[in-house]
């Protein structure tokens, strides 16, 4: 586990982690000093002759020329209060550093996991459940730092404090150290034996239920129309309730286990005090009073420490599933979001040439595309048709650089498309799918997707709207291009969505426009309107290359040539 944790922590955080460990140890030492400061007060209260019997107190009393016992006690108490205030200020500053480290690490891990998932490509995204990926990024990373790393830090701090305290107690009063060992060690051992096997399973099962619950909620909202019309809501609600009940059940079990340390500590302390009272009947009264006082001071601080160690150990066991999730990050080369926006483009000047292109998914030995070769000239309008599942959309994803060819090449003006130039090429490509992605943002932000709001060129947006024939739609919006259009374009018709997709491609000033079944879900009139817009667009910009995937001949009748994939 230790090696796995170290591998999860990014290299740039490992140096800070060493500093954090040092601050934890220093904080433990300061807390020990804070406890030790109460000992002189305890001695002065319980033993009025301590000034003469205790060399240190006697030396302080004589050195500072005190005249009476009460003023000496008052001065000692004042000094201790001042020192404790200073100590706690320092402890707070140390804890602040530790807190900043923990949450900076959470931010870094969350960013890395988000970037890691994104870098794995379209195949990974399509093969994964979005609810699980979202939960891993947003919840698991936070749970890891708050449910694993922070408890580890707390255990180190509390265990160090206990060690300091026990050593000091062993030196000062071996009998008190022995008594505390007899009281607390069996309790901690009993707790470990009771819960060590249960917490891992409870944590994993609860995480699975939370994942299932998130998946059900997302699916039920995403497929609201079909679920509602087909009367499937009750089935989804029952699944949600079942997962929720299971998650709550596991939470209750964890809450019960979390109470055990406090209960055990109180029981064993009561037993220890009872034993001490019984023993005092046959022993020296003053000595037993002092031992009783030491045990009381120890209980005030040690019981919370031992309880915290047990509780934090439970948290680590309960949340250990997060380690498996985060160890999946590519530790050797964590991807980072590539802004890489130097503005460079891979312009199309001559042609796109595809040679002997073959592609198959990693989990399949059957090629989707096999030995495909074709050439598309600049300014050409090309239609592509073929049976469903023949690989038309896959071909577009290969041209877009979202998939990597299994074999064969894609070349732009004779230069092979590679990982080094793919981002420059994507800046020159416009893509309109059958289901255009619409973000929960304004119309202008959707058209200028990826551009910060303050940097959007509103004149270019207006021109893209004109070319995509969206003027009438914009005129109906309450705030024009600054109107929000709903999550996933919930307030848009199919034709409006497609036009927004076209406007998005035009805003970026693309050299080639790829339309993947862009009109297949539209009625005949909407399809005709879109096709007329594309004809006009092609006339106004003769250098724009248009490649269209379609099933219906009406969607590709304006093309210069049609390629049939078999």
Report d(CA 60, CA 53) in Å as an integer.
13
Residue 471 is predicted with a pLDDT of 87
| 348 has pLDDT over 70 | yes
| 337 has pLDDT over 50 | no
Q: Are strands 545-549 and 381-385 parallel, antiparallel or unpaired?
A: parallel
Max mean pLDDT among 13-22, 129-138, 280-289 falls in: 13-22
Position with higher pLDDT, 364 vs 288: 364
**How much of the chain, in percent, has pLDDT values that exceed 70?**
77
Tokens at 157, concatenated:
């701090």
Tokens at 44, concatenated:
């002065």
| 385 has pLDDT over 80 | yes
Position with higher pLDDT, 148 vs 254: 148
Residue 331 is predicted with a pLDDT of 46
Left, alpha or beta for 287 (phi > 0: left; psi -120 to 50: alpha)?
Answer: alpha
Stretch among 13-27, 126-140, 263-277, 532-546 having the lowest mean pLDDT: 263-277
Residues belonging to the chain? 566
Q: What is the pLDDT of residues 70-81, one digit of tens each?
A: 676 677 777 778
**β-sheet with 369-377: strand ranges across:** 369-377, 351-359, 407-412, 415-416
Angle at 227 between CA 225 and CA 233, to 5 degrees: 130
Q: What number is the average pLDDT over the span 341-350?
A: 78
Which of 372, 342, 346, 344 has its CA nearest to residue 357? 372
CATH topology of domain 351-564: Rossmann fold (3.40.50)
Residue by residue, what is the 3-state secondary structure of 499-540?
Answer: HHHHHHHHHCCCCEEEEECCCCCCCHHHHHHHHHHHHHHHHH
Confidence tier at 410 by pLDDT (50, 70, 90): very high
| 519 has pLDDT over 70 | no
Instruction: Return the number of other C-beta atoms located less than 10 Å from residue 327's C-beta.
Output: 13
Torsion of CA 133, 134, 136, 140, to 10 degrees: -170
Report d(CA 62, CA 66) in Å as an integer.
7
Q: What is the pLDDT of residues 102-124, one digit of tens each?
A: 889 989 888 888 888 888 888 88
Report d(CA 330, CA 332) in Å as an integer.
6
Position with higher pLDDT, 49 vs 189: 189
Residue 487 is predicted with a pLDDT of 59
Report d(CA 378, CA 434) in Å as an integer.
24
Q: What is the residue extent of each domain of the chain? A: 2-326, 351-564
| 212 has pLDDT over 50 | yes
Report d(CA 485, CA 487) in Å as an integer.
7
Tokens at 462, concatenated:
């207006």
| 40 has pLDDT over 70 | no
Please state the pTM of the whole predicted model. 0.71
Pick the CATH number of 2-326 from 3.90.1150.10, 1.20.1560.10, 3.10.310.10, 3.30.1360.70: 1.20.1560.10
Q: What is the pLDDT of residues 523-555, one digit of tens each?
A: 677 777 777 777 887 787 888 888 988 777 777
Average per-residue pLDDT for the chain: 78
Which of 252, 204, 552, 210 has its CA nearest to residue 386? 552
Instruction: Return the number of other C-beta atoms located less than 10 Å from residue 218's C-beta.
Output: 14
- Give one DSSP letter per residue of 17-80, joined into a string: HHHHHHHHHHHHHHHHHHHHTHHHHHHHHH-TTHHHH-HHHHHHHHHTT--SHHHHHHHHHHHH
Are 364 and 371 in contact by the 8 Å Cβ rule? The answer is no
Tokens at 313, concatenated:
């150990």
Angle at 454 between CA 453 and CA 459, to 5 degrees: 85
Position with higher pLDDT, 92 vs 330: 92
Q: What is the pLDDT of residues 426-457, one digit of tens each?
A: 888 888 887 888 877 888 988 888 888 888 89
Residue 548 DSSP SS3? strand
């Amino acid at each position: 586990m230790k090696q796995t944790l170290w591998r999860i922590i990014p290299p740039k955080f490992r140096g800070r982690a060493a500093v954090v460990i040092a601050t934890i140890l220093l904080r433990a030492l300061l807390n020990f000093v804070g406890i030790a400061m109460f000992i002189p007060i305890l001695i002065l209260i319980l033993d009025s002759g301590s000034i003469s019997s205790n060399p240190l107190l006697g030396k302080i009393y004589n050195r500072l020329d005190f005249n009476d016992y009460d003023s000496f006690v008052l001065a000692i108490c004042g000094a201790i209060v001042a020192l404790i205030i200073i100590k706690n200020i320092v402890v707070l500053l140390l804890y602040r550093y530790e807190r900043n480290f923990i949450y900076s690490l959470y931010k870094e891990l969350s960013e890395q996991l988000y970037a890691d998932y994104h870098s794995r490509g379209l195949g990974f995204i399509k093969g994964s459940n979005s609810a699980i990926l979202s939960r891993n990024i947003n919840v698991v990373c936070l749970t890891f730092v708050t449910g694993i790393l922070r408890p580890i830090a707390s255990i180190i701090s509390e265990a160090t404090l206990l060690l300091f305290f026990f050593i000091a107690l062993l030196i000062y009063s071996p009998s008190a150290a022995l008594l505390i060992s007899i009281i607390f060690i069996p309790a901690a051992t009993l707790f470990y034996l009771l819960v060590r096997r249960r917490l891992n399973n409870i944590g994993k099962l609860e995480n699975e239920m939370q994942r299932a619950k998130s998946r059900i909620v997302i699916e039920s909202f995403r497929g609201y129309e079909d679920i509602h019309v087909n009367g499937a809501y009750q089935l989804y609600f029952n699944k949600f309730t079942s997962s929720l009940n299971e998650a709550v059940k596991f939470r209750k079990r964890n809450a019960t286990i979390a109470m055990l340390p406090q209960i055990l500590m109180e029981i064993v302390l009561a037993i220890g005090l009872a034993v001490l009272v019984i023993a005092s009947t046959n022993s020296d009264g003053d000595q037993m009073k002092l031992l009783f006082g030491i045990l009381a001071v120890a209980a005030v601080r040690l019981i919370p420490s031992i309880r915290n160690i047990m509780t934090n150990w439970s948290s680590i066991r309960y949340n250990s599933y997060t380690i498996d999730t985060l160890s999946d990050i590519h530790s050797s080369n964590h991807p980072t979001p590539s802004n890489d926006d130097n503005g460079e483009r891979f312009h199309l000047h001559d042609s796109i040439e595809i040679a002997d292109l073959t592609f198959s998914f990693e989990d399949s030995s059957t090629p989707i595309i096999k030995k495909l070769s074709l050439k598309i000239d600049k300014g050409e309008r090309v239609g592509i048709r073929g049976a469903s599942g023949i690989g038309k959309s896959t071909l577009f994803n290969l041209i877009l650089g979202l998939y990597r060819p299994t074999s064969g090449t894609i070349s732009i003006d004779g230069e092979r498309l590679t990982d080094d130039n793919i981002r420059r090429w994507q800046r020159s490509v416009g893509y309109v799918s059958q289901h255009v992605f619409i973000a929960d943002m304004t119309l202008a932000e959707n058209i200028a997707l990826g551009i910060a709001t303050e940097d959007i060129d509103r004149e270019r947006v207006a021109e893209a709207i004109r070319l995509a024939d969206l003027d009438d739609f914009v005129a109906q919006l309450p705030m024009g291009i600054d109107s929000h259009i709903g999550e996933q374009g919930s307030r848009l018709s199919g034709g409006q969505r497609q036009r927004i997709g076209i406007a998005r491609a035009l805003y970026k000033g693309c050299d080639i426009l790829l339309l993947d079944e862009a009109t297949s879900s539209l009625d005949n009139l909407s399809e005709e309107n879109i096709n007329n817009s594309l004809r006009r667009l092609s006339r106004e910009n003769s250098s724009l290359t248009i490649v269209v995937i379609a099933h219906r001949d009406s969607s590709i009748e304006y093309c210069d040539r049609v390629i049939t994939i078999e």
